[in-house]
Amino acid sequence: MDDVASRGMVLLGCGRMGSAMLKGWLDGGLNPRAVTVITPNPSDWLRETGVHVNAPLPADPAIVLLAVKPQKMDEALPQLKSLGNGNTVFLSVAAGITLARYEEILGAQTPIVRAMPNTPSAIGRGITGIVGNGHATQAHMDLAQSLLEAVGQVVRVADETQLRALTAISGCGPAYVFHLIETMAKAGEGAGLAPDVALQLARATVAGAGALAETASEDPAQLRINVTSPGGVTAEALRVLMDEETGFPPLLERAVAAAIKRDKELSA
């Protein structure tokens, strides 16, 4: 982060994800005057942070964070082309845009890191996968990771193709969990609970179980066994959920495969 403090950084786009990361950096002690934000509609909060907003770009920033929507990238990137093919690393959190495409726009010698965060990053509980191109050094990867850790955990994948699987698990995963909460609440209503009580039970159960799974020394399979008395009510429910043909395992396999297939189609 010393490099960012001395050379500065550029944040292109400051929506929900960009704002969450910026807040994490500033809360962590980053000087707001080291940050230049380029955004068409700056919020009152952004203006009050003390960062440079829509100001001239620093000559040689340590890093440029690309946080605009994927469909806006081709329109937004050309204004940063002068920073390509140099010492500035570009970090993108946009889905679906390949490293090769960024190299086409910014220059083949540009250090680029792709990142795939998920929506819990907005509350500092996310997890992000990262991968760099051939010009991204260990120092570039370390810098990208340190910045992304402001909003949660970071993992590095071996190559860009693995981002598809990561997207299908952690990028799309929050939607799977939200749907689980929906369906648990609906099942609770069907069993006679009041809607608000069923929803409260489903939300708290998923949140509590997730927190336990993250902090416990046992793996999820053992945690499941710990809750399941042989021949009991949980065991009977799991008999349905773990069915090899109709239960969770084949259903999630099909869901993940469908997500990966669609990601390939959108990247083509």
Res 73: pLDDT: 87
pTM of the model: 0.87
pLDDT at residue 233 is higher than 90: yes
Comparing 17-31, 132-146, 173-187, which segment has the lowest mean pLDDT? 17-31
The confidence band for 24, taking pLDDT boundaries of 50, 70 and 90, is confident
**Lowest mean pLDDT segment, chosen from 71-75, 102-106, 109-113, 208-212:** 71-75
Residue 130's SS3 state is strand
Residue type present at position 218? E
Q: How much of the chain, in percent, has pLDDT values that exceed 70? A: 100
Options 3.20.20.140, 3.40.50.720, 3.90.420.10, 2.10.109.10; CATH for 2-158 is 3.40.50.720
Q: Counting beta carbons within 10 angstroms of the beta carbon of residue 96, is it exposed (0 to 12), middle (13 to 18) or buried (19 or more)? A: buried
Q: How confident is the model at residue 2 (pLDDT cuts 50, 70, 90)?
A: confident
pLDDT at 90 over 90: yes
Q: Which residues pair with 115 in a beta bridge?
A: 130
173-267: CATH topology is ProC C-terminal domain-like fold (1.10.3730)
- Rounded Cα–Cα distance for residues 166 and 242 (Å): 23
| 3 state DSSP class of 113 | strand
Residue boundaries of the structural domains of the chain = 2-158, 173-267
Amino acid at 32: P
Are 206 and 177 contacting, i.e. CB atoms less than 8 angstroms apart?
Answer: yes
Query: What residues contact 265, with CB distance under 8 A and at least 6 apart?
Result: none
Q: How far is CA 45 from the centre of its chain?
A: 22
Can you state the percent helix, strand and coil of the chain, rounding each to 5? Answer: 55, 15, 30
pLDDT tens track for 51-76: 999 999 999 999 999 999 888 888 88
Binned at pLDDT 50, 70 and 90, residue 94 comes out as confident
76: CB partners within 8 A, 6+ apart: 12, 13, 38, 66, 68
- DSSP state, 169? I
